[in-house]
Amino acid sequence: MYFLGIDTSTTSSKALLINDSGEVIAVASSPHTLQTPKPLWSEQDPLEWWEAVSASIRSVLEKAGISGERIAAVGLTGQMHGLVLLDEAGNVLRPAILWNDQRTQSQCDEIHQIIGKEKFIRITGNIALTGFTAPKILWVKENEPEVYAKAKHVLLPKDYIRYKLTGEYAMDKADGAGTVLFDLKLRDWSDEVLSALEIPRTWMPKTFEGTEFTGHVTAEAASLTGLKIGTPVAAGGGDQAAGAVGVGAVEPGIVGLTVGTSGVVFATTPLALIEPEGRLHAFCHAVPGMWHFMGVMLSAAGSLQWYRDTLAPDISFDDLLNEAEAIPAGSEGLQFLPYLSGERTPHPDPLARGAFIGLTLRHSRAHMTRAVLEGVAFGLKDSFMLIQNAGLDTITQVRASGGGTKGALWRQILASVLEVELVTVNTTEGGAYGAALLAGVGAGVWPDVASACKACVKLTGSTLPDPKQMDVYRRSYKVFQGLYPH
């Protein structure tokens, strides 16, 4: 029995095939193009996603040497928040406005003004940010009234793929919460928010838990992809929620930490907890009946990449990190602020800037390298502190992924700064793997998501905090916390 996970990300559409033991059999990917027709705009053509998905499914079946008849179920994931507007017949009305599009600040302000910022946080768990879906809908209403007048359906990127596969308008609850049109506690659309923003309730699709089936592959989709007619398609989840399933961050106390270009801290919560000022994203999880907090740092491993490319372009990352190992914890007073792209958590400030602070004649390149690693770790600790203060006070384990966690030095710094065991796992395909597991649970191979993760996600390494470093880092972190306000 095989399961297919499809991840429609910003850069490509990936198809990943696993068997009923959770083993990855084959992976295929097809690229997307990105359009930036004006400054701050970011758009894609949904039909290009569908072409990429169809190509990737055909390719992964060919690589695995199996027919679509043997795929028991499909799970979906992809980039969150993007607005796909369809007319009554299901035709795309305009290019999708993506998660990283920045045109909607005035609509965000408008949402807070209409509903009240505190009330909006109380209902949706979040403040209105330019990345989210709700302000994008208002932007179209105000700037493209002729498009808005034809609109009948609102979908997110992966749910457009669902529509093309099954003919059904549906969405999972994790991605639904990311539109900020959800009542977080009720796990469904907020009639109050929709009414206040004058968005028709009929535009919003029915929502499902991540493991529920939402439709079946149509004859037309089967002919294009090679899948069998009638193959069930699970709800799945947005890329962060599905990625958390992929590394086993599905129970309270186990936190997912991704150190890629950006950094993401993902914490499962048993209740619809919110951070009172909206400094953390609070969404439904792809795990039925669970929620999650998410903190996002815009320049995590991206800070190290910038540092190396700018100041040491002829030196390998390994050599830089080897030098930094000889430097004591705390970098002898040198601090690095990692706000090279502005920041989101805990400071939602696009104008925040990076800095080295405390440079002296004693400091070498090795000190600067270590300070970058420590500054990123402190920035991630900000999210951990917010999560703990918002009600998830026990964090027992951090499951680390992303390129930044490959080096032993950075893993040790992170473990000591966060004061928790840092583990690595055998799964590296993130969201697509999580989507495939959700499909497997839907098909009954595993009784629930936690069981699927226990069966398939194995620990491959562990880094424990160093008590001596912890003392140093507690003092250094207090200094770090004071730097942004100053």
The 3 state secondary structure assigned to the chain is: CEEEEEEECCCEEEEEEEECCCCEEEEEEEECCCECCCCCCCEECHHHHHHHHHHHHHHHHHHHCCCECCEEEEEEEECCCCEEEECCCCCECCCEECCCCCCCHHHHHHHHHHHCHHHHHHHHCCCCCCCCHHHHHHHHHHHCHHHHHHCCEEECHHHHHHHHHHCCCEEEHHHHHCCCCEECCCCEECHHHHHHCCCCHHHCCEEECCCCEEEECCHHHHHHHCECCCCEEECCCCHHHHHHHHHCCCCCCEEEEEECCCEEEEEEECCCCCCCCCCCEEEECCCCCCEEEEEEECCCHHHHHHHHHHHCCCCCHHHHHHHHHCCCCCHHHCEEECCECEECCCCCECCCCCEEECCCCCCCHHHHHHHHHHHHHHHHHHHHHHHHHCCCCCCCEEEEECHHHCCHHHHHHHHHHHCCEEEEECCCCHHHHHHHHHHHHHCCCCCCHHHHHHHHCCEEEEECCCHHHHHHHHHHHHHHHHHCCC
Looking at residue 429, its pLDDT comes to 84
Rg (CA), the chain: 22
Delineate the domains of the chain, giving CATH numbers in brackets. Answer: 2-237 (3.30.420.40), 248-486 (3.30.420.40)
Looking at residue 349, its pLDDT comes to 87
- Tens digit of each residue's pLDDT, the chain (486 residues): 999 999 999 999 999 999 999 999 999 999 999 999 999 999 999 999 999 999 999 999 999 999 999 999 999 999 999 999 999 999 999 999 999 899 999 999 999 999 999 999 999 999 999 999 999 999 999 999 999 999 999 999 999 999 999 999 999 999 999 999 999 999 999 999 999 999 999 999 999 999 999 999 999 999 999 999 999 999 999 999 999 999 999 999 999 999 998 999 999 999 999 999 999 999 999 999 999 999 999 999 999 999 999 999 999 999 999 999 999 999 999 999 999 988 989 998 888 999 999 999 999 999 999 999 999 999 999 999 999 999 888 899 999 998 899 999 999 999 999 999 999 999 888 899 999 999 999 999 999 999 999 999 999 999 999 999 999 999 999 999 999 999
Dihedral-angle region of residue 182 (phi above 0 means left; psi in -120 to 50 means alpha; beta otherwise): beta
Among 101, 159, 239, 382, the one annotated catalytic: 239
Looking at residue 312, its pLDDT comes to 96
Tokens linked to 199: 């968005």
Looking at residue 118, its pLDDT comes to 97
Question: Could you tell me whether strands 263-269 and 291-297 are parallel, antiparallel, or unpaired per DSSP bridges?
Answer: antiparallel
* pLDDT per residue as tens digits for the range 318-340: 999 999 999 999 999 999 999 99
239 catalytic? Reply is yes
Angle at 171 between CA 434 and CA 220, to 5 degrees: 90
- The CB-side HSE value for 415 (13 A sphere, CA atoms) comes to 22
C-beta of residue 276 within 8 angstroms of C-beta of residue 283: no
CA distance 309 to 326: 22
Looking at residue 8, its pLDDT comes to 97
* pLDDT per residue as tens digits for the range 345-355: 999 888 899 99
